[in-house]
């Protein structure tokens, strides 16, 4: 089944970026470019001292020196190389707490 219509086209060309700051705060942005375009800009973006997001009602300017982590959806699986780990899974606190309490067969 193929998605059709303007909504399907819009959602296919959106990358969601969540930014985590050194002070513990976080905020998310939907960026109207497809993940491949975002990936091609990522290297240059991370080298800039400031990121600028033009929203409908305001412009947000973020100092990259205050950013400790970024989450990107959908994943950018095409990024490969040294220091990049494929097929990873996030371990939750519940999974960590359950370790050792229940027998696990491997």
CATH of the domain at 26: 2.30.30.100
Q: Does residue 62 sit within a domain? A: yes
Per-residue confidence (pLDDT) for residue 99, from 0 to 100: 64
pLDDT tens for 6-64 read 544 545 689 999 999 999 999 999 999 999 999 999 999 999 999 999 999 999 999 99
From its phi and psi, is residue 24 left (phi > 0), alpha (psi between -120 and 50) or beta? Answer: left
Identify the residue with better confidence: 19 or 81.
19
98 in a structural domain:
no
Give the pLDDT band of residue 93 (cuts 50, 70, 90).
Answer: confident
Query: Tokens in use for 49?
Result: 């001292």
H helices of the chain, in order, are: 6-12, 35-47, 93-98
Backbone phi, then psi, for 97, in 5-degree steps? Answer: -65, -30
User: Does residue 61 form part of some domain?
Assistant: yes
Range of the domain at 37: 6-78
Domains of the chain: total: 1
Peptide bond into 55 cis (omega under 30): no
- Tell me whether residue 104 is in a domain: no
**Does 105 map to a domain?**
no
Q: Determine if the pTM surpasses 0.95.
A: no
């Amino acid at each position: 089944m193929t998605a059709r219509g303007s909504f399907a086209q819009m959602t296919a060309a959106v990358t969601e970026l969540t930014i985590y700051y050194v002070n513990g705060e976080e905020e998310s942005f939907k960026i109207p470019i497809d993940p491949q375009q975002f990936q091609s800009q990522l290297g240059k973006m991370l080298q800039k001292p400031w990121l600028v997001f033009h929203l409908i009602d305001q412009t947000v300017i973020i100092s990259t020196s205050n950013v400790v982590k970024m989450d990107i959806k959908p994943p950018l699986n095409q990024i490969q190389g040294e220091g990049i780990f494929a097929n990873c899974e996030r371990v939750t606190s519940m999974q960590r707490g359950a370790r050792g309490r229940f027998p696990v067969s491997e």
